[in-house]
Amino acid sequence: MNSSALDSFLDKWRARWPEWSVAEPFVAPEHRARAVAWFSLLQELDDMLNTSGDPLPADAKLAWWGEELRSWAGQRSRHPLGRVLEPIRAPWAVLADALPSLVEARAVAVDAAAAQRALTAFAEAVAAVEVVLFEDRPRAGAGQAVLLQTLAQRLYDAGVTGVPRSLLEPDAAAAPRRWAGELLKDWKLRVAGPRPRRIWAALARARLQSQASGKPIEATPVRTLLRVWWAARG
């Protein structure tokens, strides 16, 4: 399980989220390894959603991941992340069925509602996996929490390409800040979902607040500790 191939994916996610070193102790010990593996997988999918340039390589990867996730039901994983995740009997096929929607979601949405609709099936599939993965119960609003974080990550990675067309006028340069502010309106300090998701969402929300305000994020260990402590509460 600790192969160099697996470590390379986990390390890539940790490099993008260095705050996790402060947050991780708030995750149950038995869920820590699978949380990082799962978030690393979601990062791979985010990268395919937010790709720039020729989309064909990303489309091919998404198709491959669809086959890979379906194979996990029979415990036939090929990807290093599967060593951690495949033994868990989560609805992997449901997530696989939602992956094609990421191709369509790359297009600039007409408005905020269209941006949300494009990723709703994917977000609900992710939330369904997390119920099993983290031994939680279904919670109203969990899919919406994933949706907002996915849109925030798209804005973070893709910039103005991730902003709905209706927000591009009158000043396209300020559009990312406007979209960040719109996303924050529905994003509570503590979202629905299992504890690892709530903690990660708190870190992502802080980044989005920075984008909305145009000010650098204050990610000191103490501030991060307070954010994740609040998010981790029941």
Give me the sign of the Cα torsion angle 125, 118, 114, 205: positive
Owner of token pair 């192969």:
3
* Spacing of C-alpha 221 from chain mean position: 22
| Res. 1 pLDDT band, cuts 50 70 90 | very low
Q: What pLDDT is recorded for position 95?
A: 98
Q: What pLDDT is recorded for position 75?
A: 84
List C-alpha distances in Å: 173 to 82, 148, 150, 168. Answer: 41, 22, 22, 8
96 vs 67: CA distance, rounded Å: 7
Q: What pLDDT is recorded for position 96?
A: 97
Q: What DSSP line would sit under the chain, residue for residue?
A: ---HHHHHHHHHHHHH-TTHHHHGGGS-HHHHHHHHHHHHHHHHHHHHHT--S--HHHHHHHHHHHHHHHHGGGT---STTHHHHTTS---HHHHHHHTHHHHHHTSPPSSHHHHHHHHHHHHHHHHHHHHHHTT----TTHHHHHHHHHHHHHHHHHGGGGS-GGGSSS-GGGHHHHHHHHHHHT--SS-SS-HHHHHHHHHHHHHHHHHHHTS-----HHHHHHHHHHHH--
Contact 197, 146 (CB under 8 A): yes
Can you tell me the mean pLDDT for 87-105?
Answer: 97
Residue from 11, 158, 151, 133 nearest 72 by CA: 133
Mean pLDDT check: name the lowest of 70-84, 186-200, 217-231: 217-231
Residue from 100, 105, 144, 107 nearest 126 by CA: 144
Answer yes or no: is pLDDT of 2 > 90: no
State the pTM of this model: 0.95
Answer yes or no: is pLDDT of 219 > 80: no
Mean pLDDT check: name the lowest of 129-133, 191-195, 223-227: 223-227
Answer yes or no: is pLDDT of 73 > 90: no
Query: Which range marks the domain in which residue 45 is found?
Result: 4-232
Q: What pLDDT is recorded for position 189?
A: 85
| Res. 199 pLDDT band, cuts 50 70 90 | very high
Can you tell me the mean pLDDT for 108-124?
Answer: 97
- Mean pLDDT of all residues in the chain? 94
Convert the pLDDT of each residue in 134-168 to its tens digit: 999 999 999 999 999 999 999 999 999 999 999 99
Q: What pLDDT is recorded for position 221?
A: 84
Q: What pLDDT is recorded for position 233?
A: 87
Residue 152 belongs to domain with CATH number: 1.10.600.10
Convert the pLDDT of each residue in 37-47 to its tens digit: 999 999 999 99
| Res. 114 pLDDT band, cuts 50 70 90 | very high
The total number of structural domains that make up the chain: 1
